[in-house]
Amino acid sequence: MHTLGNIIWFLLGGLLAAILWYLAGIILCITIIGIPFAKVCFKLGDLVLWPFGKVVKTNFDKHPVANIIWLILAGWEMAVGYVVTGLIFCITIIGIPFGKQWFKMASVALLPFGSTIK
């Protein structure tokens, strides 16, 4: 099931979303201050490329200052967008597995520093 879900996800927007995350990471690498945030963009790009079968664990205590900065600048907006998208997907029975993946991405988008994706 994970393979089929990943293939459908990849074809219907996963590749485009991953490219956008990687592009954002490359742009953030221009400045030294942006490199930690670029690493987060690359982490989110990897997750959005093949989300099925991956487990996300967030750890706020590992980098609290970086998480607070991320939360204020971009995290809460992305998390709300991912949750709304997940709710839209959960309207239909077929969309529920994809909605769960959006919820998974919302947790990483909210507090990405110190989170692990396995």
Q: DSSP for 20-58?
A: HHHHHHHHHTTSSTTHHHHHHHHHHHHHHHS-TT--EE-
Q: What is the pLDDT of residue 12?
A: 87
pTM for the model stands at 0.86
Position with higher pLDDT, 74 vs 87? 87
Region class of 114: left (phi > 0), else alpha (psi between -120 and 50), else beta: left
The pLDDT of residue 102 is 92
Q: In the structure, what pLDDT confidence band is assigned to residue 104 with cuts at 50, 70 and 90?
A: very high
What does DSSP assign to residue 117? E
